[in-house]
Amino acid sequence: MRFSLLSATGLISAVASVLAVELPPGVPRSLEEFRGKHPIRSSEHVEDDISAEFLDGIKEANNGGLLHLPKGELFVIGKPLDLTFLNDIEIRLDGEIRFTDDVPFWQASGYKHPFQVGKWGGNDIRIYGEGVLNGQGQRWWEEFSDLGIPADNNYTYARPILFYVQNSTNVNIEGIHFKDSPIWHQLIEWTTGIHYRDVICTAHSTNASVHPANSDFFDSQNIWDLTVERAWVDVGDDCFSPKSNATNVHVNQMYCNGSHGQSIGSLGEHVGVGSYVEDVVIENVWMLNGQHGGRIKVWAGPTAGHGYVKNVTFRNFWNANNEYVGFLDSCYWKIDAETCLEHPSRMNISDIVFENFSGYTSGKNGRVIARFTCSSSPDAVCENIQMRNIAVEPPCGGPAIAICDGISGGLGDDVPCYPSDSEEAKAALADKCEGPRSDYTGKPWEP
């Protein structure tokens, strides 16, 4: 992209100087002018819906240009946006794109499968700046929780995804703040080459009795070559959770406060459908006040699918006040022990490493710092799961242990591992206590 644009601009200036041609008004004289050329009107007030102008601006900037949404300006979007035609475009977002919270309108008019307020797609897309994509989740969370959901698996109250990308190549997101999505903040599907850098993702309720639900930072299906470098995430659910079919994933430097963890999955939900995740490195992460550090969750039950998770490395995790620092759940989701035994997971889990973990747990699970439950199916492989160089302290004092059910070959020598029905496991779980919360707020990669 940069190449063709530069040569086109070079051509214009060469022609201008040699032939002294007066360029007609409106033709950009420089790269900066060219890139700055597609301004759109910003909203005058919070109900001033500029979605039509936004779409026009994107069309103008497409094929080699830039749409600039300046700092201090608000762009209210009140209609679904189909932006799946993108090709070689930059969007500099320093202002705020804010989706309206007209719940009845969106529920009637958003795109389905999955439900979203907009869809993005194409090739060579770069969205950068210090601006905000604001999903205004507050009303959605409140109405959703009023209905007593998440008990509702029927999705009678559907909530849209803030940033949905499909069938794309080379998507680059830098600096953007994803804020208060009604549900997941991102879903990326059928895409090769996705790169996040310096992004922020927060979901904060202003109502003490209502918490954001299912507000994951990142979810995906069918992706290849994903990098996340320096992300600051404070949401109430998974910090990072690639789902079915992810290959070559690298997370480096992520701050996760109050999250459910660095989660692979859930995977293998649907009968007859394969789920494959391989070649994943998640490293240099700070996991605070959450459920799990590194976790893998795979479905069991009569309608579960099949597949594998292999070659996943969780490395250099600093933990503070998490329930477990490592977790494998093969009885997802809410499958009771009996059903799980009857219909165990058909996902193979192999070559998983938890390496160089430090910090402390919450004490909720006593001295147990990690728990791995393999599928009980004789056909499902669960092997080469290793914990190495682990210095995580339970705040309750006494030796840290892990609980392991069914890992063939064990967990390595670093952390003693006992089956869940052992006396050791029961005693360690019973040693409950309460550790301190972590109020660490620095960007860990900027000491």
Ligand X SMILES: *[C@@H]1O[C@H](CO)[C@@H](O)[C@H](O)[C@H]1NC(C)=O
Residues that bind ligand X (CB under 6 A): 142, 145-146, 151-152, 154, 156, 166-167, 190, 207, 209-210, 221-222, 234, 244-245, 248, 257-258, 273-276, 279, 281, 289, 306-308, 311, 316, 318, 348, 356, 358, 381, 441
Q: How far is the CB of 370 from ligand X (least distance, A)?
A: 16
The residue nearest ligand X at its CB is: 258
Distance CA 105, CA 378 (A): 50
Sign of CA dihedral 373, 376, 377, 378: positive
The per-residue b/e assignment along 239-250, b for 16 or more CB within 10 angstroms, e otherwise, is bbbbbbbbbbbb
For ligand X, the closer of residues 42 and 214 by Cβ is: 214
Q: Which of 88, 101, 180, 237 is catalytic?
A: 237
The tokens of 373 are what? 């439950």
For ligand X, the closer of residues 34 and 232 by Cβ is: 232
For ligand X, the closer of residues 64 and 307 by Cβ is: 307
CB 238 within 8 A of CB 263: yes
For ligand X, the closer of residues 172 and 289 by Cβ is: 289
For tokens 């103008």, what's the residue? 60
For tokens 């002018």, what's the residue? 33
Which residues have C-beta within 8 Å of that of residue 197, sequence separation ≥ 6? 172, 173, 174, 175, 229, 230
Q: How far is the CB of 144 from ligand X (least distance, A)?
A: 9
Q: How far is the CB of 337 from ligand X (least distance, A)?
A: 23
Sign of CA dihedral 170, 232, 327, 250: positive
CB 240 within 8 A of CB 228: yes
For ligand X, the closer of residues 106 and 299 by Cβ is: 299
Q: How far is the CB of 355 from ligand X (least distance, A)?
A: 8
For ligand X, the closer of residues 2 and 443 by Cβ is: 443
Q: Which of 38, 185, 260, 306 is catalytic?
A: 260
Q: How far is the CB of 85 from ligand X (least distance, A)?
A: 11
In DSSP terms, which residues pair with 99 in a beta bridge? 77
User: Which amino acid, one-letter code, is at 42?
Assistant: S
**Known catalytic residue at 260:** yes
Q: Distances from the Cα of 157 to the Cαs of 103, 301, 327, in angstroms?
A: 10, 25, 31
For ligand X, the closer of residues 66 and 325 by Cβ is: 325
Question: β-strands 66-69, 382-393: how paired?
Answer: unpaired
Q: How far is the CB of 117 from ligand X (least distance, A)?
A: 17
Q: How far is the CB of 391 from ligand X (least distance, A)?
A: 9
The per-residue b/e assignment along 265-276, b for 16 or more CB within 10 angstroms, e otherwise, is bbbbbeeeeebb
Q: How far is the CB of 34 from ligand X (least distance, A)?
A: 30
For tokens 């954001």, what's the residue? 212
For ligand X, the closer of residues 7 and 209 by Cβ is: 209
**Known catalytic residue at 405:** no
Active site residues: 237, 260
